[in-house]
Amino acid sequence: MKPSFQALRSSQRGLSFISLVLVSVLIVFVMVVMAQVVPTAIEYTAAKKAIERAKVGSTVLEIQQIFDRAAAIDDISSIAGKDLDIRKVGEKVVVGFAYSREIHLVGPAYLVMKYSAQTN
Protein backbone atom coordinates (compact mmCIF):
# COMPACT_ATOMS: atom_id res chain seq x y z
CA MET A 1 0.00 0.00 0.00
CA LYS A 2 1.19 3.43 -0.86
CA PRO A 3 0.91 6.08 1.85
CA SER A 4 -1.42 8.89 0.93
CA PHE A 5 -0.26 12.43 0.23
CA GLN A 6 -1.94 13.61 3.43
CA ALA A 7 -0.03 11.06 5.54
CA LEU A 8 3.28 12.14 3.98
CA ARG A 9 2.46 15.80 4.53
CA SER A 10 1.63 15.40 8.22
CA SER A 11 4.83 13.48 8.96
CA GLN A 12 7.15 16.25 7.74
CA ARG A 13 9.02 18.13 10.44
CA GLY A 14 11.07 21.32 10.47
CA LEU A 15 10.86 25.08 10.60
CA SER A 16 8.61 27.07 8.35
CA PHE A 17 10.06 30.14 6.65
CA ILE A 18 8.34 32.47 9.14
CA SER A 19 9.74 30.48 12.07
CA LEU A 20 13.20 30.58 10.54
CA VAL A 21 13.00 34.38 10.16
CA LEU A 22 11.75 34.84 13.73
CA VAL A 23 14.45 32.60 15.18
CA SER A 24 17.08 34.43 13.12
CA VAL A 25 15.85 37.84 14.32
CA LEU A 26 15.94 36.63 17.92
CA ILE A 27 19.48 35.28 17.55
CA VAL A 28 20.68 38.52 15.95
CA PHE A 29 19.05 40.58 18.73
CA VAL A 30 20.74 38.50 21.44
CA MET A 31 24.10 38.78 19.66
CA VAL A 32 23.78 42.58 19.38
CA VAL A 33 22.96 42.90 23.08
CA MET A 34 25.83 40.58 24.04
CA ALA A 35 28.20 42.62 21.87
CA GLN A 36 27.35 45.59 24.09
CA VAL A 37 27.37 43.70 27.41
CA VAL A 38 30.71 41.91 27.03
CA PRO A 39 32.83 45.12 26.93
CA THR A 40 31.20 46.35 30.15
CA ALA A 41 32.00 43.04 31.85
CA ILE A 42 35.61 43.25 30.64
CA GLU A 43 35.85 46.82 31.96
CA TYR A 44 34.45 45.70 35.34
CA THR A 45 37.06 42.95 35.58
CA ALA A 46 39.82 45.45 34.74
CA ALA A 47 38.49 47.85 37.39
CA LYS A 48 38.52 45.08 40.02
CA LYS A 49 42.16 44.33 39.19
CA ALA A 50 42.99 48.05 39.28
CA ILE A 51 41.62 48.53 42.81
CA GLU A 52 43.61 45.50 43.97
CA ARG A 53 46.77 47.16 42.62
CA ALA A 54 45.80 50.56 44.01
CA LYS A 55 45.24 49.45 47.60
CA VAL A 56 49.00 49.33 48.18
CA GLY A 57 49.04 53.13 48.24
CA SER A 58 49.46 54.80 51.62
CA THR A 59 47.32 57.92 51.08
CA VAL A 60 43.97 58.55 49.44
CA LEU A 61 45.61 60.67 46.73
CA GLU A 62 48.22 58.01 46.01
CA ILE A 63 45.55 55.28 45.75
CA GLN A 64 43.54 57.45 43.34
CA GLN A 65 46.63 58.14 41.21
CA ILE A 66 47.57 54.44 41.04
CA PHE A 67 44.01 53.62 39.98
CA ASP A 68 43.98 56.40 37.36
CA ARG A 69 47.22 55.10 35.84
CA ALA A 70 45.78 51.58 35.67
CA ALA A 71 42.54 52.98 34.23
CA ALA A 72 44.46 54.73 31.47
CA ILE A 73 46.28 51.52 30.57
CA ASP A 74 43.22 49.24 30.77
CA ASP A 75 40.81 51.74 29.16
CA ILE A 76 38.49 52.07 32.16
CA SER A 77 36.15 54.97 31.47
CA SER A 78 33.17 54.30 33.77
CA ILE A 79 34.93 55.33 36.97
CA ALA A 80 37.94 57.38 37.94
CA GLY A 81 40.15 57.58 40.99
CA LYS A 82 37.98 60.31 42.50
CA ASP A 83 34.97 57.94 42.37
CA LEU A 84 36.59 55.28 44.56
CA ASP A 85 35.35 54.56 48.07
CA ILE A 86 38.55 54.46 50.15
CA ARG A 87 38.40 53.70 53.86
CA LYS A 88 40.47 52.15 56.58
CA VAL A 89 39.10 49.11 58.40
CA GLY A 90 41.36 48.30 61.32
CA GLU A 91 44.85 48.32 59.85
CA LYS A 92 43.73 47.47 56.30
CA VAL A 93 42.88 49.87 53.51
CA VAL A 94 39.65 48.91 51.72
CA VAL A 95 39.09 50.30 48.24
CA GLY A 96 35.75 49.91 46.50
CA PHE A 97 33.57 51.25 43.75
CA ALA A 98 29.99 51.06 42.50
CA TYR A 99 28.55 52.22 39.20
CA SER A 100 25.86 51.32 36.71
CA ARG A 101 25.81 51.06 32.93
CA GLU A 102 22.77 51.43 30.71
CA ILE A 103 22.42 49.83 27.31
CA HIS A 104 19.61 51.06 25.09
CA LEU A 105 17.62 48.16 23.67
CA VAL A 106 14.59 49.48 21.77
CA GLY A 107 12.25 52.41 22.30
CA PRO A 108 12.04 53.16 26.03
CA ALA A 109 13.65 49.85 27.04
CA TYR A 110 17.12 49.83 28.61
CA LEU A 111 19.26 47.10 30.10
CA VAL A 112 20.75 48.40 33.36
CA MET A 113 23.75 46.65 34.86
CA LYS A 114 24.99 47.57 38.32
CA TYR A 115 28.61 46.81 39.08
CA SER A 116 30.30 47.02 42.48
CA ALA A 117 33.44 45.57 44.07
CA GLN A 118 35.81 46.14 46.96
CA THR A 119 39.14 44.83 48.08
CA ASN A 120 39.56 42.47 51.01
Contact call for residues 65 and 86 (beta carbons, < 8 A): no
Tens of pLDDT along the chain (120 residues) come to: 666 666 555 666 777 899 999 999 999 999 999 999 999 999 999 999 999 999 999 899 999 999 999 999 999 999 999 999 999 999 999 999 999 999 999 999 999 999 999 998
- The pLDDT value recorded for residue 15 is 79
d(CA 6, CA 46): 61
Contact call for residues 68 and 81 (beta carbons, < 8 A): yes
- Domain layout of the chain by residue ranges: 39-118
